[in-house]
C-alpha cells in the first residue's frame, strides 16, 4: 500500500496517509465481503461514500453510488485508480428548458395558437 500511495497525486496521497474514515472502512469491509461471498465476481455494493479513493483492491467491483437522488451504477476499471469515487457519479443534470407556455410572459399573449 505504501508503494501505491507514493504514486498518487498529493491530495489523494494526503487523504490516504491520514487514514480511512469510519464510513470508508465500512465500505471496504462490504467490498471484501462481497468478493468473498461470490468468489470472483463481486455483488454490487451500495454506498453514500463519495470521498473514497479508488484503490487496486476495488478493481472489477460494481459500485452503486448515491448521487443525491438515486443510486448510479459504476463499474471500477483500471483507469479509475487514484480518483475519488464521487467523480464518476454526477450530482447535477443538464438543464433543458422548454418553450414558454401561454401566459408565461407578456409577449406570449401575441403568439398565435396553432
What is the chain written as a DSSP string?
Answer: -HHHHHTS-HHHHHHHHH---HHHHHHHHHHHHHHHHHTTSPPPEEE---SPBP-GGGTT-EEEEE-SSSEEEEE--GGGTTSBGGGGS--S---------TTSSGGGGGSPP-
Evaluate whether residue 105 is within a structural domain: no
- What is the C-alpha separation between 13 and 110, in angstroms, rounded? 61
Residue 110 lies in a domain: no
Domain presence at residue 61 = yes
Domain tally for the chain? 1
CATH number at residue 29: 3.30.860.10
Domain for residue 25, yes or no? Answer: yes
List the pLDDT tens digit at each of the 114 positions of the chain.
Answer: 889 999 999 999 999 999 999 999 999 999 999 988 887 778 899 999 999 999 999 999 999 999 999 999 999 999 999 999 999 999 998 888 877 666 677 776 676 766
Amino acid at each position: 500500500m505504501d508503494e501505491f500511495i507514493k504514486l498518487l497525486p498529493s491530495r489523494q496521497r494526503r487523504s490516504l496517509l491520514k487514514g480511512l474514515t469510519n464510513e470508508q472502512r465500512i465500505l471496504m469491509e462490504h467490498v471484501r465481503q462481497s468478493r468473498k461471498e461470490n468468489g470472483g465476481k463481486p455483488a454490487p455494493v451500495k454506498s453514500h461514500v463519495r470521498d473514497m479513493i479508488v484503490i487496486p483492491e476495488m478493481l472489477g467491483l460494481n459500485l452503486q453510488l448515491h448521487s443525491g437522488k438515486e443510486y448510479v451504477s459504476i463499474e471500477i476499471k483500471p483507469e479509475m485508480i487514484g480518483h475519488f469515487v464521487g467523480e464518476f457519479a454526477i450530482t447535477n443534470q443538464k438543464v433543458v428548458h422548454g418553450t414558454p407556455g401561454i401566459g408565461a410572459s407578456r409577449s406570449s399573449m401575441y403568439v398565435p395558437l396553432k
